[in-house]
Chains A and B, each alone.
Chain A
Amino acid sequence: MRKKKWLNTSLAVITAVSLLLAGCSSNNNDGGSKTNTNANDSTDGNAVDNTDPVTFSYFGFGTNIDVMASETTIGKILQEQTGVDWKMEYVVGDPSTKAGVMIAGGEYPDVISPVGELSKLLNAGAYIPLNDLIEKHGPNIKRVYGEYMDKITHEDGNIYILPFTANVGGYLNDPDAGSNIWIQRRVLKEFGYPEVKTLDQYFDLIVKYQEKYPSVDGKETVGFVTFAGEQGQFYTITNAPMHLAGYPNDGNVLVDMETHEAKLYMATEHEKRWLKKLNEMNAKGLVDPETFTANGDQFKAKLTSGRVLGFVGYIWQMADAMNNLKTAGNDDLRYVSLPIVFDESITDAYMDPPSFVNNRGLGISVSAKDPVRIIKYWDNLLKEENQRLVQWGEEGVTYSVNEEGRFIMSAEQLANRNDNEFKRKYGWAYFDYEWPRYGDNSVYEDGNAHLPARQPEVANVNYTDGDRELLNAYGIETFSGFFAQPVERPWYPAWSIEKEQGSPEQIFNQKAGDLQQKFYPKLVFATEAQFESVWNDYLAEFGKLDAAGFEKFMTDKVKARIAGVW
């Protein structure tokens, strides 16, 4: 008898466990079957728009703070139009782990902005095809994305995400474009605003300035820093040779304008020239020893201290530090980015050519309760008046219109538009980017710019006296005046070419990146005599990787894009 009881208990445990397992797998099945049914959910496309209150969930793999859309001004206005509210959540911690957990669980939020996790989610069948939904319920979606249809259509003929870069009504360049090589303004001022074009000229200025002022206000000046201390930011330093050689940001390849061959610049003369220069600067004591170890906060603290004379970094990596310096009010301590290249003969390519990034966007998941409502919400969002709302706000409140019909902002309105707190409260921080939208370079029917920052009238309000002095000294109107006009590159940007999970290309990328992380510090901090031998070690290690295979993959993809297959 007792023995049986014992048996029973163990049986119970086993049953419980198998129930648990069954529970997990049945969930997965749900996810799978929904893929097939959801697209047909839209039974009556012509029905009157339903504005019953409903709340959908939004998940972004970018960084932001969670919010209910209706708590923001813009979200509230859109809710009044449609009845839809959003519970908006953003990734905390490692995005790829989060994506894995989401997929393994088989439960998704209604809409997902995948950022870097697109291929993973697509592989798992997390998105529903939008083709039919757009056809039936999306007149505005068709207007905005119409000419990009082939670029947003996935290889299997379905549209899964709506990207953020569909430009509408013309093409407006950023009046305040920048490069990723920066110099402190007092250095330029000291030497009477000289022309700085090459890397040698740039470093010469820094050398001369530091000789003259080894310390300012009792603090030692720091010659040059890079934002390469954080593992995820290492591309800051590895991308530089590409830009210096006169190419735009195509990731880790240079694409030839004539032959359209994609070539790696890792372990080439370009990279060597850049590292050799840093090595020389280090010998002169100009490279900050913490350049490979300081984390993001430490890096930004250095910049805001005003001690740094020059640095390399993209604006989106340290915009808050630049803003703080601007707010602090001393224009001499602020920075300006310059069109630095290797030689005078090279034309810089810092200004982005017209581009379409098709692997960032927003899609509807297989768990979505009501895809039709969502697509209608998006369609409504893409109406020109609502696009104006998510960028400019409300007329008379956050911007005004002058007699010529141009949109303008007062200094105060502009300060609000740039203020992180206000942007959250008003909703720009949530609605001006990771949604189906007009691209940044778009122009409205009335000729106004879609982005306030691209409206010359607004850019002008933004300039301080120091800005104007600098611009006048160089005889240019806006900061974009420093840079050459972009050239059309139909494949641009090559970095957005998706590499399949666990594919040889992806493993190559990881290994090549590891190698760079290992050797860059050695190369920069080597004595000048050692440099050549360390470089040869680096080449030997690099030789073990399948670079040719990677280049072939990229070349094929670039050529396919030129032929119109995205």
Chain B
Amino acid sequence: MEKHAVQLRGSTADDSRLRAFFKVLSRQKMLMLMSLPFLAWVIVFKYVPLWGWTIAFQKYKLARDLFDQTWVGLDNFAFLFREEQFYLVLRNTLVMSSVNLVLGFVTAILLALLLNELRRVYFKRTVQTISYLPHFISWVVAANIVQTALAPEGIFNVLLLQLNIIDKPVLWLGVGEYFWGILGATEVWKNVGWNTIIYLAAITTIDPTQYEAAEIDGASRLQRMWHITLPGIKPVIVILLIMNLGHILESGFEPQYLLGNGMNVEYSENLDIFVLKYGIQMNNFGLATAAGMFKTVVSFIFLIVANNLAKRLGESRLY
């Protein structure tokens, strides 16, 4: 970018500036071509559906034209923001996704660092495979495994009883306060291996000579991790953090839906389940869309704030 900017500044007439632009364009023809399908994808799947936002201002009925719909102004938003339940599910959503965000980052980075230090390739591969596996299990199955393990006669209670940590079985999924912790742990179990991939990839780009130099200078293993590996993957961490903050209102749907029950509903019900119950299942698509719009706006704010923060701190960022 810098180089092109210099070129452009060099030319005086509009015409020559344009010519320079097309010169660069033709040089990067292949790159342009390669990005074309993705551009089309973004337009078709991300921009075209924005039309659907009009639904938020209608009492929407399926299979009818735009002109046959009843327009209701901000009624759907009013319903949403007046609903007590909405604030409860908003709290749950924010807490659960923050828990997932923090736990997800810390555990994945930690595991990636540890894996990177392993010398024996077979052992490393085995650990990687085992930690990836749960990622590929469907949530329906995973939730059943968790339910069974946490049942009064499940392995978890049996173990804790044997170790004398508890004196009678605990109904883990029956205590609302435990739910966030259980969900966080389940997410870590399921996704930690998968999340390490990107960090491991980032680590491989670090110049090995840095490690050699550090070793000669007498840096210990921990010091090398702290002073070389972590700074080396910092840009990746920051970018991922910014992007994930953009998803702060997406705490997931399946695990909460499948692990939730009457006893933990005050803690397990999130925005997506609320939208399913009051929006989609009642054919109230206007409300569902309004909630979706709200989510998008909040995500947008988070994304911009995080990016500006990164900019101010002189870190790598999205734009």
Which residue numbers of A lie inside 8 Å of B, CB to CB?
A: 2-3, 9, 13, 17, 20-21, 25, 28, 31-32, 94, 96-97, 100, 103-104, 106, 120, 123-125, 228-229, 231, 234, 289-290, 292-295, 298, 501-502, 506-507, 510-511, 514, 517-518, 520-521
Tell whether, in the assembled complex, residue B280 and residue A96 are in contact, meaning their CB atoms are under 8 Å apart.
Answer: yes
Tell whether, in the assembled complex, residue A293 and residue B62 are in contact, meaning their CB atoms are under 8 Å apart.
Answer: no
Bound together, the chains give a CA A97 to CA B282 distance in angstroms of 10
Query: Which one of A32, A120, A123, A293 contacts B174 once the chains associate, using CB atoms below 8 Å?
Result: A293
Which residue numbers of B lie inside 8 Å of A, CB to CB?
A: 22, 25-26, 36, 39-40, 43-44, 48, 59, 61-65, 85, 147, 151-152, 171, 173-174, 260-263, 265-266, 277-278, 280-285, 287
Q: Which residue of B lies closest to A120 (CB)?
A: B283
Tell whether, in the assembled complex, residue A100 and residue B283 are in contact, meaning their CB atoms are under 8 Å apart.
Answer: yes
Bound together, the chains give a CA A417 to CA B176 distance in angstroms of 46
Tell whether, in the assembled complex, residue B171 and residue A104 are in contact, meaning their CB atoms are under 8 Å apart.
Answer: no
Query: Which one of A13, A103, A120, A507 contacts B43 once the chains associate, using CB atoms below 8 Å?
Result: A13
Tell whether, in the assembled complex, residue A293 and residue B283 are in contact, meaning their CB atoms are under 8 Å apart.
Answer: no
- Excluding A231-B261, A289-B152, A514-B85, 12 further A-B contacts by CB distance (< 8 Å) are A2-B22, A13-B39, A17-B43, A32-B63, A96-B280, A100-B280, A124-B61, A234-B262, A292-B174, A293-B262, A518-B262, A521-B263
Tell whether, in the assembled complex, residue A502 and residue B63 are in contact, meaning their CB atoms are under 8 Å apart.
Answer: no
Tell whether, in the assembled complex, residue A97 and residue B262 are in contact, meaning their CB atoms are under 8 Å apart.
Answer: no
Contacts of A510 in B (CB 8 A): 277-278, 282
- A21 to chain B minimum Cβ distance, whole angstroms, is 7
Tell whether, in the assembled complex, residue B174 and residue A96 are in contact, meaning their CB atoms are under 8 Å apart.
Answer: no
Tell whether, in the assembled complex, residue A289 and residue B174 are in contact, meaning their CB atoms are under 8 Å apart.
Answer: yes
- Give 27 CB contacts A-B under 8 Å: A9-B36, A17-B43, A20-B44, A28-B64, A31-B63, A94-B281, A96-B280, A100-B62, A100-B283, A123-B61, A124-B61, A124-B62, A231-B262, A289-B174, A292-B262, A293-B147, A293-B171, A295-B147, A298-B151, A502-B59, A506-B282, A507-B278, A510-B277, A510-B278, A511-B85, A514-B277, A517-B262
Contacts of B282 in A (CB 8 A): 501-502, 506-507, 510
Contacts of B59 in A (CB 8 A): 502
Most buried by B among A20, A32, A292: A292
Bound together, the chains give a CA A507 to CA B282 distance in angstroms of 8
Tell whether, in the assembled complex, residue B65 and residue A25 are in contact, meaning their CB atoms are under 8 Å apart.
Answer: yes
Contacts of B65 in A (CB 8 A): 25, 28
Q: Which residue of B lies closest to A106 (CB)?
A: B63
Contacts of B147 in A (CB 8 A): 293, 295, 298
Q: Is the interface of A mostly helix, strand, loop or mixed?
A: helix
- A359 to chain B minimum Cβ distance, whole angstroms, is 16
Contacts of A120 in B (CB 8 A): 62, 283
Q: Which residue of A lies closest to B172 (CB)?
A: A293
Bound together, the chains give a CA A123 to CA B278 distance in angstroms of 18
- B10 to chain A minimum Cβ distance, whole angstroms, is 21
Tell whether, in the assembled complex, residue B62 and residue A520 are in contact, meaning their CB atoms are under 8 Å apart.
Answer: no
Contacts of B64 in A (CB 8 A): 28
- B96 to chain A minimum Cβ distance, whole angstroms, is 18
Q: Which residue of A lies closest to B278 (CB)?
A: A510
Query: Which one of A17, A25, A124, A229 contacts B44 once the chains associate, using CB atoms below 8 Å?
Result: A17
- B201 to chain A minimum Cβ distance, whole angstroms, is 32
A293 and B263 in contact, given A96-B283, A100-B280, A510-B282 (Cβ under 8 angstroms): yes
- A208 to chain B minimum Cβ distance, whole angstroms, is 25
Bound together, the chains give a CA A502 to CA B72 distance in angstroms of 14
- B259 to chain A minimum Cβ distance, whole angstroms, is 10
- Top 5 closest pairs, chain A to chain B, by CB: A501-B283, A103-B62, A517-B262, A502-B284, A521-B263
Query: Which one of A96, A106, A229 contacts B281 once the chains associate, using CB atoms below 8 Å?
Result: A96
- A132 to chain B minimum Cβ distance, whole angstroms, is 24
Most buried by A among B62, B277, B287: B62
Contacts of B266 in A (CB 8 A): 518
Contacts of B278 in A (CB 8 A): 507, 510
Bound together, the chains give a CA A97 to CA B277 distance in angstroms of 11
Bound together, the chains give a CA A273 to CA B11 distance in angstroms of 88
Bound together, the chains give a CA A3 to CA B48 distance in angstroms of 24
A2 and B48 in contact, given A100-B62, A124-B63, A510-B277 (Cβ under 8 angstroms): no
Query: Which one of B43, B62, B261 contacts A104 once the chains associate, using CB atoms below 8 Å?
Result: B62
Contacts of A123 in B (CB 8 A): 61-62, 283
Bound together, the chains give a CA A289 to CA B174 distance in angstroms of 9
Bound together, the chains give a CA A293 to CA B44 distance in angstroms of 42
Q: Which residue of B lies closest to A230 (CB)?
A: B261
Bound together, the chains give a CA A199 to CA B42 distance in angstroms of 63
Contacts of A28 in B (CB 8 A): 63-65
- A467 to chain B minimum Cβ distance, whole angstroms, is 32
Contacts of A518 in B (CB 8 A): 262, 265-266
Contacts of B43 in A (CB 8 A): 13, 17
Bound together, the chains give a CA A292 to CA B261 distance in angstroms of 7
Bound together, the chains give a CA A390 to CA B152 distance in angstroms of 45
Query: Which one of A17, A228, A231, A517 contacts B48 once the chains associate, using CB atoms below 8 Å?
Result: A17
- B72 to chain A minimum Cβ distance, whole angstroms, is 11
Contacts of A294 in B (CB 8 A): 151
- B35 to chain A minimum Cβ distance, whole angstroms, is 12
Most buried by B among A20, A103, A290, A293: A293
Tell whether, in the assembled complex, residue A293 and residue B25 are in contact, meaning their CB atoms are under 8 Å apart.
Answer: no
Tell whether, in the assembled complex, residue A290 and residue B171 are in contact, meaning their CB atoms are under 8 Å apart.
Answer: yes
Bound together, the chains give a CA A507 to CA B59 distance in angstroms of 15
Contacts of A2 in B (CB 8 A): 22, 25-26
- A498 to chain B minimum Cβ distance, whole angstroms, is 13
Contacts of B173 in A (CB 8 A): 293
Contacts of A106 in B (CB 8 A): 63
Most buried by A among B36, B151, B171, B261: B261
Q: Which residue of A lies closest to B148 (CB)?
A: A298
Tell whether, in the assembled complex, residue A104 and residue B262 are in contact, meaning their CB atoms are under 8 Å apart.
Answer: no
Most buried by A among B26, B48, B59, B61: B61
Query: Which one of A97, A234, A289, A517 contacts B280 once the chains associate, using CB atoms below 8 Å?
Result: A97
Tell whether, in the assembled complex, residue A13 and residue B63 are in contact, meaning their CB atoms are under 8 Å apart.
Answer: no
A289 and B283 in contact, given A13-B43, A124-B63, A228-B262 (Cβ under 8 angstroms): no
Bound together, the chains give a CA A204 to CA B297 distance in angstroms of 58
